[in-house]
Amino acid sequence: MSALPEGVWRDVVGQPAAVAELQQAVAHPASMTHAWLFTGPPGSGRSVAARAFAAALQCPDGGDGTCHACTTALRGTHADVRVVAPEGLSIGVAEVREIVRMAGRAPSQGRFQVVIVEDADRMTEPAANTVLKMLEEPPPRTVFLLCAPSLHPDDVPVTIRSRCRVVSLRTPPAEAVAEVLTRRDGVEPSLAAWSAAAAGGHVGRARRLARDEDARAARAAVLDVPRSLTSLAACLQAADGLVATAAAESLAASTAIDGAETEAVKASLGVGARGPGVAAASRGAGQLKELEKKQKSRATRIGRDSLDRALVDLAAFYRDALLIATVRGAVDRVPHLNHPDRAADALELARAIGAEGALRRIDVVLAARTALEQAVKPQIAIEAMCVALRLPA
């Protein structure tokens, strides 16, 4: 087993080749470039790697992980490291323009001005054009770190991709994820191993499964769906359950954030004040309306992300059934199951639908994901999916 990375790289899980490439760039400025594109599947740690790289670039010792530059860059409080992350469904041009404007300044503390764009695939076209202009005429000590799932033009415009050095990440092995959960989060080793396996190498999901009993219950409910779809009524009931769970998660997350956020803006505007503050508060009505719009967009994104996690679990479960059906039920001959703790259920499903049925149902689930990405109403998309997943009579 290879040595674990140290310093700022400790939480970049299972990416030895990428870490070596980034360390080389930090150690040898001649190999640096002004734009980097981190790609990899969900959970591979794109933004974690980008933040670690930003910290190492600012660190006098190349990323020791203990100095002020490293700790503030990793926490997101370094004056010369700016992060753009979508709070709603997309990253808009106004947000990007402000970051780009500030990135054009000389560094105030560190060696570079570093801009990290998480989920760069969610940039609107005007936002992407704003970033492209900066990449075409980069300031001398500014570095852009973009994160996206793939190099596909739907994720990153070709014009941006051609101006970036690409760092490709992979899904980390479950053993590496479990090690991080145990070391960093104090998770008991057996639970860490189960969570890492159940999450399919998705670091963030594994951490959530390990620390949140509700998340484990939600996953179990999703994996119960395929074998419950025995009638039209059961299909509609399952769809209602999936949509309701996503809505509840969205409401809980939004409630935890929105109230304090709204009160902070009202206080800054002087809402409720008397005298001179009244005029300022009245002029701030537009800001409150814009905040409300942003909060609604964020709630929609949280709900869709919750549904997407459920659909990923479903597709992976049908994939397990497909493999088991292919080897005629010999589960021990399947090299890797996405949900090893539900192997018996996958075997039962494989016997009911066969390899062809499992393959067709994977396509159905992936089509539902596409429909949600195209803003089809969740209730309609999920109901259609569940009906198409119905078990044979």
Domain range list for the chain: 7-168, 174-211, 232-260+288-388
Question: What pLDDT does residue 43 have?
Answer: 82
Token readout for 93 is 């041009």
Tokens of 12: 């970049």
Nearest CA among 48, 97, 45, 106 for reference residue 73: 48
Measured distance CA(366)–CA(383) in Å, rounded:
14
Enumerate residue ranges in the chain where pLDDT < 70. Answer: 1-4, 88, 258-266, 268-285, 287, 291, 295, 329
> Which residues sit opposite 148 in a β-bridge?
39
Whole-angstrom distance, CA of residue 248 vs CA of residue 310: 14
Taking the C-alpha atoms of residue 10 and residue 355, their distance in angstroms, rounded to an integer, is 41
Residue 90 backbone zone (phi > 0: left; psi -120 to 50: alpha; other: beta): beta
Q: What is the pLDDT of residue 277?
A: 52
- DSSP summary character for residue 215: H
Look at residue 144 in the predicted model and tell me its pLDDT. 93
What pLDDT shows up at residue 281?
A: 52
Q: Report the C-alpha gap between 187 and 199 in whole angstroms.
A: 15
167 φ, ψ (degrees, to nearest 5): -115, 115
User: What is the rounded CA–CA span in Å between residue 77 and residue 80?
Assistant: 9
Give the other-Cβ count within 10 Å of 224's Cβ.
Answer: 14
- Position 278 scores a pLDDT of 53
DSSP 390: P
Q: What's the angle, vertex CA 39, arms to CA 33 and CA 43, rounded to 5?
A: 135
For residue 143, is it left (φ>0), alpha (ψ between -120 and 50) or beta?
Answer: beta
Beta bridge partners of 166: 37
Burial of 201 (C-beta count, 10 Å sphere; 0-12/13-18/19+) = buried
Question: Contact 5/45 with Cβ under 8 angstroms?
Answer: no
pLDDT on residue 183: 87
User: Strand order of the sheet with strand 81-84?
Assistant: 81-84, 113-117, 142-148, 35-39, 165-168
| Burial environment of residue 273 by CB neighbours within 10 A (0 to 12, 13 to 18, 19 or more) | middle
Q: Which two tokens stand for residue 9?
A: 């790289």
What does the pLDDT read at residue 100? 82
For 7-168, CATH number?
A: 3.40.50.300
**Which residues pair with residue 82 across a beta bridge?**
115
CB 142 within 8 A of CB 127: no
**How far is the first Cα of the chain from the last one, in angstroms, to the nearest whole number?**
50
pLDDT at site 276: 56
Pairwise CA distance, residues 316 & 338, whole Å: 6
